[in-house]
Amino acid sequence: MRYTRPADVDGVTAALADGDAVVVGGGTMVVPEMTHGRVRPSAVVDLAKAGLAGIARDGDGWVIGAMTTYTELARSNVPLLATAARGITGGPQIRNRGTVGGSASYANPSSDVPAVLVALGARMRLARRGGAREVPAAEFFAGAFRTAREPDEVLTAITVPDTAAAPGYVKFKLVEGSWPIVTAAALAGPTIRVVLGGAAAAPVVVELERASWRARLRSEVDRLLTEPWDDVLAPGHYRARIAPVIAARAVAGALEEA
Amino acid sequence: MAALPARVGIGSSPRKRDGAALLTGRALFLDDHRPEGLLHAVVVRSEVAHGRIRAIDTAAAAAAPGVALVLTGAEAAKHAGPVPYFIDPAARGGNRTDIRCLQVDKVVHVGQPVAAVVAASRHEAQAAADLVRITYDVLPHVLDARAAMAQDAPRLYEDWPGNVVAHNRYGSGDPDAALAAADVVVEGELRIARTTTAPIEPRGYLASWQGDRLTVHASCQNPHQLRWMLSVSLGVDESRIRIVTAKVGGSFGLKMQGHPEETLVALLSLLADAPVKWVEDRRETLMAGAREQVHRFRVGATSDGRITGLVNEIVADIGALTAQAGWAMPNMSATTQPSGYAVQDVRVELDIVCTNKPPCNAARGFGKDAAHFVMERAVDLVARELGMDPAEVRRRNFVREFPYRTATGLNIDSGDFDGLLDKTLDAVDYAGIRRGQAESRERGRYLGVGLGFELTPESSDSPGTFVSGFDTTTVRMSVTGMVTVLTGVTSPGGGNDTGIAQIVATELGVPIEWVELVQGDTDRCPNGFGNFSGRSMVVGGGSATLAARDVRAKLLAVAARLFETSEVDIRDGIASGGGRELPVPEVARALLTRAFAIGDIEPVLESTRAYKPGNINHVPDELGRIQPYPTYSSSLHAAVVEVDAETGKVTLADYVMTHDCGTMINPALVEGQARGAVTMGLGSALSEQLVFAADGSLASNRFKSYLLPRAGDIPLLRMIHQVTPSPFAMHGNKGAGEAGVGGAQAAVANAVEDALAPFGVTVRGVPLSPPNVLALIDEARP
Amino acid sequence: MKLTVNGVEHEIDVDPRTLLVHAIREQVGLTGTHVGCLTGDCGACTVVVDGQTTKSCSVLALSAEGSAVETIESLADGDDLHPVQQAFWDEFGFQCGFCLPGMLLTAKELVESTPDPTDDDILRAIDGNLCRCTGYNTIVAAVRKAARS
């Protein structure tokens, strides 16, 4: 196995262009996968020195480097994402090391970041040798552990537009140590958007009117959540059952309703 | 006669004596030993739940980089015999099978050892292990105990009549008549899901041979039994085997010996002619089951809440049979009923059943936990049926006269169960919670309180086995006055070394800093049995006391000679008498350097003593019952929970445990044991469960899917102590360490049922995970 | 590669797949950092990398080249225990001690970054560290005591 730690994005994309390489960000997901033989790459590209960390303002939004850690996010003012970052499971060691770009690229259905990015209308900046593109978060998350990123691409940054909508975030876990079972990221503006994480293979977007959200929420979730995520922690029917509950709590939180 | 030493040391809480080494990272655990030339082993495990081994292709593995040895079961069987049982089922009238370090013909669970690879590094060993190709004739498998009891079920061990290891019946009186005559009879079911002990340090062994002598460093609770076991399986005389188990990173029963890898690693080292170490991967540790059983019970009571009869049918799923002690745990689930309640008409039917899952290994509680859990559920169901308060039903049934012979033959030494109940209800503000409950329900909040009483027989002695109710300690004073204590009991982390040092220092009358403890080394320590069944302070402490008293007596005799008076004393390291004082080291030196001047006192400042506590009786009574426990700790638990009825999530709001383990040698260490056991019980009550896929592979194979409690899950566990000394143990102390598992399970289950009373929910199992609780609510809804 | 642990630079040979925890334990020879799960869940392998606690089972050794790594062995000053160590000893914040190095380094990071932590801060801080012996109560008490000392 080859290991490279390029000093910039060009170096990263050059290393990825060669073929079957795995990108390591914070390492909290992919390194244990390698240890247990579930990922057997011929090359590892480490982003640690590629200059991809940090949060910056850009016009009317945020640019969040892919290597920005949960700890940095938690200290920021990025709506929803800062809240989600503070509640990441695994302790400060994971929050110090795990990155928003790594979590997005891993696309574990049972994780906080994908649904939050979709709720925020974030855009994912991907780079490959000789080119770059942006993909809306809603398209980026293609399924369980699947994204729109091609093997020769690297996620470099995530842009998040400012929003005047009020945020609400609720994460439901079985106990402290479990993956999230269902998360709900809500933004309440003129209309309400709540995005469910953990409930299905990819984030589920629910759009609601302010006046009727309580009446409509359950049926909308039922309509959209046709294939709930099922794993050893919780069966799909349980996720489907509590998804409207968690969504309602997130919306109520955004609206500061009890 | 000289005055007894002041007992300043016993009952105080000096800090753990091994603290400095542990706090600075200097302590050496098993995996920290890295002798020159060390090779690493990886075990190749079955990937099928049931199958005949057709072929094993080791060629690619053997040719892989760094590989020193690839061993198969057939080859291993040429060098090593079966692993002897810790508790042989045949000795208990059950079925047995030969347990091999590597399977030869057949596998009966996913994860069973089939081959092993030894290489220069762990990584190379793993890479080579991945190249071992095993082909199986796959056989049908069975993962459920009930299904395994069917006539046509797949048979794990073909020479058995079925999959049942043993069927046993326990109890006395005429429970059928008692139930027929009862004012009310309630039926219940309790399903206890499979959990695991999961110490943070996995199991591991390091074997090396020096000529024909074998040394094994082991993360193990019972070094002397391990020495015997290796002696039998390898055919090596015990005198040529040394077991060292210096630091163990938690165990909780898992690291009692009897695992195939113990023999395996010793054999690998022999064949590779080099030191070989094997340490479990976490996925391997998580395969070890702790308990899995279903109870179906009927309990009869009078209209005023007196329980008159109990019938309980237990089906215990132990997975594959093991030489480890774990398979025998369900016996204690039976014999510990009906706990500390005065019910003499009892019948417990027990089936211990094998399925194609990994074996159950010994686990804190050792099955006694399940006995308490089922009794506490039965009591709550009686209360509910009669419309009585559950606390009151407990009070009406407690045993109050001691010693008390239970229906299953146990002889409860002492206790004050009413005192436990009063203290617990008071501390938890039971009346206040009951008052507040109605109001919070109106606001859509579901608060509940549940009680769990626990009677924990400890320090067991099983005749004819290495489950021993006595132990042995040497106390030795050197010419400098320093004291070395060598004891047969071991400490996997609980701190009995500190407790024993307290006792020895107190008995001798010297500062605790002078006392050095040596445990877990078969070449240095006297014969002993290690750690299990809450025994270490009872029998380790008792034998240390006897030995220390011998040494003290000798010191006093010397001091009397030196001071020319019979009125002598030793305190705080100073001998005094006749108006004179002399530091103890000078007394020691006087005896050991001027033995002829001192006169007719034998110049040995050393004593080795065994301590056998009272109350053990192995002569079967007219019902064939024996009495294997000297002491019975007791405790009463109250859990206060809030249940989110929309998600099923249970949150612990408060927890009180009133604990009576008799005299406490070191109260802080007792509390540590109790909190650890309670937390283990809370985990199994709420979140822990080993889940198997349909193919028999373990689905919950890491700490994100096997959910141990984390700090944020556990409220302040409030500890209250009651001291009812045991008349049968040296210092009046009873076992501590297991009490808490069953009490916590019961208190939480009862609290959840109480919280959800408006829905009419009946709890029938654990874990009460959110999906399971929501299912209960749904099921109860009209 | 060069790996700087507790202020000492070590020249070691590693395979690219070697984990930081194994490099520290096996190449550098500091065994106070423990292996409990190798999945980033238990926290026994916690070390400090460039001032931040990290689970060293989830980091490739090569990723730590050029970083300053601190382990449990750096916490005490000779025979003088760090206040966090002393607090854990005084409050019985451990039993078997296997999770202890990770707990101590995590606790140290908290008390250094949060002068007067709430109980909630403490619980969140040790959320990534499993202990199977204590039930955590005494650990929380120890961190609280350390924060006050």
- Residues in B 614-653 with any Cβ partner in C closer than 8 A: none
Contact B607, B546 (CB under 8 A): yes
A242 and A221 in a common domain: yes
What residues in B contact C73, CB-CB < 8 Å?
24-26
Q: What angle do CA C10, C12, C15 make, to 5 degrees?
A: 145
User: What sign does the dihedral B157-B163-B169-B170 (CA atoms) show?
Assistant: positive
A156 and A170 in a common domain: no
How many contacts does B have with C, using Cβ atoms within 8 A?
A: 167
pLDDT digits (tens, 9 = 90+) for B218-266: 999 999 999 999 999 999 999 999 999 979 999 999 999 999 999 999 9
Give the mutation candidate from A29, A93, A95 for the C interface (greatest C CB count, under 10 A). Answer: A93
User: Of B262, B285, B308, which residue constitutes the final position of a domain?
Assistant: B285
How many contacts does A have with C, using Cβ atoms within 8 A?
A: 91
A114 and A224 in a common domain: no
Verify whether the Cβ–Cβ distance C54 to A96 is below 8 Å.
yes
* Residue C93 distance to chain A (closest CA, Å): 18
A108 and A31 in a common domain: yes
* Residue C66 distance to chain B (closest CA, Å): 24
pLDDT, residue B222, reads 96
Kind plus residue range of the DSSP H or E element containing B265: helix B260-272
B479 and B416 in a common domain: no
How far is the C-alpha of B40 from the C-alpha of B58, rounded, in Å?
17
The answer, for C12 touching chain A at a CB cutoff of 8 Å, is: no
Domain count, chain A: 2
Chain B residue set in contact with A, beta carbons under 8 Å: 126, 130, 283, 646-649, 686-687, 691, 699-700, 703-705, 707-713, 769-771, 774
What residues in B contact C140, CB-CB < 8 Å?
711
pLDDT digits (tens, 9 = 90+) for B342-390: 999 999 999 999 999 999 999 999 999 999 999 999 999 999 999 999 9
User: Of A117, A143, A161, which residue constitutes the final position of a domain?
Assistant: A161
B603 and B630 in a common domain: no
Q: Are strands B446-458 and B471-477 parallel, antiparallel or unpaired?
A: unpaired
Q: What angle do CA B328, B707, B290 make, to 5 degrees?
A: 5
Other CB atoms within 10 Å distance of the CB of residue B726: 29
Classify residue B184: in a domain, yes or no. Answer: no
Kind plus residue range of the DSSP H or E element containing B348: strand B346-353
Classify residue B2: in a domain, yes or no. Answer: no
- N-to-C CA span, chain A: 54
Residue range(s) defining the domain that contains residue A146: 2-161
Written as six digits, the tokens of B704 are 């994100």
B603 and B500 in a common domain: yes
A184 and A127 in a common domain: no
B215 and B98 in a common domain: yes
Chain B: partners with 3+ C-beta pairs within 8 Å: A, C
Kind plus residue range of the DSSP H or E element containing C2: strand C2-5
B743 and B657 in a common domain: yes
Q: For residue B180, what are the contacts with CB-CB under 8 A and spacing of at least 6?
A: none
* Residue A222 distance to chain C (closest CA, Å): 34
pLDDT for B4 beyond 80: no
**B137's torsion region: left (phi>0), alpha (psi -120 to 50) or beta?**
beta
B403 and B371 in a common domain: yes
User: Of A109, A140, A161, which residue constitutes the final position of a domain?
Assistant: A161
Provide the CATH number for the domain around residue A170: 3.30.390.50
The answer, for A235 touching chain B at a CB cutoff of 8 Å, is: yes
Domain count, chain B: 3
A186 and A76 in a common domain: no
Q: What angle do CA B86, B89, B90 make, to 5 degrees?
A: 115
B585 and B481 in a common domain: yes
Verify whether the Cβ–Cβ distance B704 to A179 is below 8 Å.
yes
**Strand ordering across the sheet containing B580-583:** B568-571, B574-577, B580-583
b/e B620-634 (16+ beta carbons within 10 angstroms → b)? eeeeebbbbbbbbbb
What residues in A contact C110, CB-CB < 8 Å?
92
Tell me the one-letter amino acid at C35.
V
Chain C residue with minimal CA distance to A91? C128
pLDDT, residue B1, reads 35
pLDDT digits (tens, 9 = 90+) for B546-590: 999 999 999 999 999 999 999 999 999 999 999 999 999 999 999
pLDDT for B413 beyond 70: yes
Contact B643, B448 (CB under 8 A): yes
What residues in C contact A46, CB-CB < 8 Å?
60, 62-63
- N-to-C CA span, chain B: 77
Q: What's the average model confidence in pLDDT over B616-631? A: 92
Verify whether the Cβ–Cβ distance A92 to C128 is below 8 Å.
yes
The answer, for A177 touching chain B at a CB cutoff of 8 Å, is: yes
A227 and A114 in a common domain: no
Contact B705, C128 (CB under 8 A): no
Q: For residue A254, what are the contacts with CB-CB under 8 A and spacing of at least 6?
A: A165, A166, A167, A168, A186, A187, A188, A192
Provide the CATH number for the domain around residue A141: 3.30.465.10
Closest to B687 (Cβ–Cβ): which among A37, A174, A179? A174
pLDDT for B3 beyond 90: no
Contact A185, A169 (CB under 8 A): yes
Chain C residue with minimal CA distance to A2? C16
How far is the C-alpha of C11 from the C-alpha of C27, rounded, in Å?
9
pLDDT for B6 beyond 80: no
Verify whether the Cβ–Cβ distance C89 to B18 is below 8 Å.
no
A249 and A153 in a common domain: no
Question: Tokens 């030869």 — which residue?
Answer: B104
Q: Which domains does chain C have, with CATH numbers?
A: 2-73 (3.10.20.30), 83-148 (1.10.150.120)
Verify whether the Cβ–Cβ distance B676 to C37 is below 8 Å.
no
Classify residue B750: in a domain, yes or no. Answer: yes
B415 and B392 in a common domain: yes
Verify whether the Cβ–Cβ distance B704 to A37 is below 8 Å.
no
Cis amide leading into B338 (omega within 30): yes
How far is the C-alpha of A154 from the C-alpha of A52, rounded, in Å?
11
* Residue B87 distance to chain A (closest CA, Å): 34
A115 and A12 in a common domain: yes
Provide the CATH number for the domain around residue B278: 3.90.1170.50
What residues in C contact A34, CB-CB < 8 Å?
17
pLDDT, residue B624, reads 87
Q: Decide: helix, strand or coil at residue C145.
A: helix
Provide the CATH number for the domain around residue B746: 3.30.365.10
User: Of B586, B611, B636, which residue constitutes the final position of a domain?
Assistant: B611
* CA atoms within a 13 Å half-sphere pointing along the CA-CB vector of B745: 34
Q: Decide: helix, strand or coil at residue B556.
A: helix
pLDDT, residue A19, reads 75
Classify residue B343: in a domain, yes or no. Answer: no
Chain B residue with minimal CA distance to C40? B703
- For helices C137-148 and B667-686, what crossing angle results, to 10°? 120
What are the pLDDT tens digits along chain C (149 aa)? Answer: 999 999 999 999 999 999 999 999 999 999 999 999 999 999 999 999 999 999 999 999 999 999 999 999 999 999 999 999 999 999 999 999 999 999 999 999 999 999 899 999 999 999 999 999 999 999 999 999 999 98
- Residues in A 81-110 with any Cβ partner in C closer than 8 A: 89-94, 96-97
pLDDT for B7 beyond 50: no
B81 and B226 in a common domain: yes
User: Of B569, B589, B611, which residue constitutes the final position of a domain?
Assistant: B611
Q: Predicted confidence band at B761 (pLDDT cuts at 50, 70, 90)?
A: very high
- Greatest alpha-carbon span in chain B: 92
Question: Tokens 């016009």 — which residue?
Answer: A59
Q: Which residues lie across from B294 on neighbouring strands?
A: B191, B315
How far is the C-alpha of B720 from the C-alpha of B726, rounded, in Å?
18
B644 and B550 in a common domain: no
Q: What's the average model confidence in pLDDT over B197-201? A: 98
Chain C residue with minimal CA distance to A1? C16
B641 and B602 in a common domain: no
How far is the C-alpha of B633 from the C-alpha of B340, rounded, in Å?
10
Distance set, CA B51 to CA B81, B155, B354, B588 (Å): 22, 11, 15, 66
pLDDT digits (tens, 9 = 90+) for B630-640: 999 999 999 99
What are the pLDDT tens digits along chain A (258 aa)? Answer: 899 999 999 999 999 998 789 999 999 999 999 999 899 999 999 999 999 999 999 999 999 999 999 999 999 999 999 999 999 999 999 999 999 999 999 999 999 999 999 999 999 999 999 999 999 999 999 999 999 999 999 999 999 999 999 999 999 999 999 999 999 999 999 999 999 999 999 999 999 999 999 999 999 999 999 999 999 999 999 999 999 999 999 999 999 975
How many contacts does A have with B, using Cβ atoms within 8 A?
A: 56
A143 and A17 in a common domain: yes
* Residue A35 distance to chain C (closest CA, Å): 7
The answer, for C57 touching chain A at a CB cutoff of 8 Å, is: yes
Written as six digits, the tokens of B70 are 């690839």
| DSSP class of A209 | E
Query: Residues for chain B: how many in total?
Result: 782
- For helices C137-148 and C100-113, what crossing angle results, to 10°? 40
**Strand ordering across the sheet containing B106-107:** B106-107, B51-57, B133-138
Q: Predicted confidence band at B111 (pLDDT cuts at 50, 70, 90)?
A: very high
A32 and A157 in a common domain: yes
B587 and B736 in a common domain: no
Average pLDDT over chain B reads 96
How far is the C-alpha of B758 from the C-alpha of B627, rounded, in Å?
44
The answer, for B213 touching chain C at a CB cutoff of 8 Å, is: no
Residue range(s) defining the domain that contains residue B249: 35-139+199-285
Percent above pLDDT 70 for chain A: 100
| DSSP class of C33 | S
User: What sign does the dihedral B18-B21-B24-B25 (CA atoms) show?
Assistant: negative
Instruction: Compute chain A's Rg from CA coordinates.
Output: 18
* CA atoms within a 13 Å half-sphere pointing along the CA-CB vector of B289: 34
How far is the C-alpha of A155 from the C-alpha of A126, rounded, in Å?
5
Contact B430, B656 (CB under 8 A): no
User: Of A161, A190, A208, which residue constitutes the final position of a domain?
Assistant: A161
Query: Residues for chain C: how many in total?
Result: 149
